[in-house]
């Protein structure tokens, strides 16, 4: 049985996927590691590239885009490693990452999940862990206050300067991003696979919440490092807006009572309207940004539609009403 199973989900990211697989092959021992790539019906030659250039990898070819969580679950279900590393196709391991993550798990037997330091391409820290979502944190995001305050939730592309010391040492956290995360096999055996309701985004938060509830600790290990081109595997920013909003509201609806969900949903609607009008202004005054502004505004409109059913306390969506 291999010690480590590396799982990568790809969708039309052939060049990024190649770099990702090169980094994996350069960082892990072949005999102790299996590599599984799930292709979500790419049309850019990604599966052919994997078969030709990385015959060591086991390739699963889907006929349609199954979403991030479901595709990961396909590979997790057939993997056999003691540890499972979920790795985005737009990420690449730096030397020694897997060894340090696995070493941390061996030294801290209470850890069920551990995430590495996530770096931008310029070497700066990327937000990668945080506290579980709460109405207060959601307000900070939707009101744009997170851009000025050291909010302990991974918003944006760079870690707030006041939070950098917290990113420099090992610590236990509420959750870590699934862009790169090591999971102990027994965690999956006990709590099950990734939640598939949101299609993409928030499944890492929900999975860590379930692991914490089952008694496992969640760790952040800065000695292991991964470079992540944020958004590189994203189909479009418009889709990201909608999927992020859907994932967030599903999380709140799964863990908070309906009146709280309704209040959060109204904050989310207000935040998306704020962004809509700001980007309308950007598009009007900056012709070079007009196309991006139109795309974003369509995303904000769709996001408002997604959470609309949750804004009424007595009719707040199909999943609301459960409490933490």
- Output the pLDDT for position 244: 87
Average pLDDT taken over every residue of the chain: 91
| Arithmetic mean of pLDDT, 305-321 | 70
Handedness of CA 60, 65, 67, 68 (dihedral sign): positive
Q: Is the pLDDT of residue 96 over 60?
A: yes
- Whether the model clears a pTM of 0.85, i.e. scores above it, the answer is yes
Share of the chain residues as helix, strand and coil, in percent rounded to the nearest 5: 45, 20, 35
Question: Among 73-87, 188-202, 290-304, which stretch is predicted with the lowest mean pLDDT?
Answer: 188-202
Q: Given the DSSP bridges, would you call strands 33-40 and 171-173 parallel, antiparallel or unpaired?
A: unpaired
- Output the pLDDT for position 28: 85
Spans of all domains in the chain: 4-228, 237-308
pLDDT digits (tens, 9 = 90+) for 214-249: 999 999 999 999 999 876 555 577 888 898 899 899
For residue 24, which of 41, 10, 11 has the smallest C-alpha distance? 10
Question: Does residue 172 contact residue 217 with C-beta atoms inside 8 Å?
Answer: yes
| Arithmetic mean of pLDDT, 44-52 | 97
For residue 247, which of 178, 323, 158 has the smallest C-alpha distance? 178
Regarding the domain with residue range 4-228, which homologous superfamily does it belong to in the CATH classification? Answer: Spore Coat Polysaccharide Biosynthesis Protein SpsA; Chain A (3.90.550.10)
pLDDT digits (tens, 9 = 90+) for 134-182: 999 999 999 999 888 888 888 888 999 999 999 999 999 999 999 999 9
């Amino acid at each position: 049985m291999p010690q480590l199973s590396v799982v990568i989900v790809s969708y039309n990211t052939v060049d990024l996927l190649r770099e990702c697989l090169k980094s994996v092959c350069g960082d892990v021992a072949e005999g102790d590691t299996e590599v599984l790539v799930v292709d979500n019906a790419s049309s850019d030659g990604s599966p052919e590239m994997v078969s030709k250039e990385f015959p060591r990898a086991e390739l699963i070819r889907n006929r349609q885009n199954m979403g991030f969580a479901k595709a990961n679950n396909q590979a997790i279900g057939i993997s056999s490693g003691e540890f499972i590393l979920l790795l985005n196709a737009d990420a690449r391991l730096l030397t020694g990452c897997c060894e340090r993550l696995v070493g941390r798990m061996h030294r801290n037997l209470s850890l069920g999940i551990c995430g590495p330091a996530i770096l931008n391409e310029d070497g700066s820290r990327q937000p990668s862990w945080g506290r579980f979502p709460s109405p207060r944190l959601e307000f900070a995001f939707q009101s744009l206050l997170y851009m000025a305050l050291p909010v302990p939730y991974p918003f944006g592309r760079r870690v707030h300067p006041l939070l950098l010391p917290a990113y420099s040492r090992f610590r236990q956290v509420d959750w870590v991003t699934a862009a790169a995360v090591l999971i102990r096999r027994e965690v999956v055996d006990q709590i099950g696979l990734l939640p598939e309701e949101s299609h993409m985004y928030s499944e890492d938060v929900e999975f860590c919440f379930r692991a914490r509830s089952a008694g496992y600790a969640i760790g952040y290990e800065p000695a292991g490092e991964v470079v992540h081109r944020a958004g590189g595997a994203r189909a479009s920013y418009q889709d990201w807006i909608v999927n992020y909003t859907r994932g967030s509201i599903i999380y709140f609806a799964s863990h908070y009572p309906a009146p709280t969900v309704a209040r959060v949903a109204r904050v989310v609607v207000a935040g998306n309207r704020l962004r809509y009008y700001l980007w309308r202004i950007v598009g009007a005054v900056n012709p070079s940004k007009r196309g991006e502004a139109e795309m974003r505004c369509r995303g904000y409109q769709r996001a408002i539609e997604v959470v609309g059913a949750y804004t009424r306390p007595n009719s707040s969506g199909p999943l609301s009403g459960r409490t933490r």
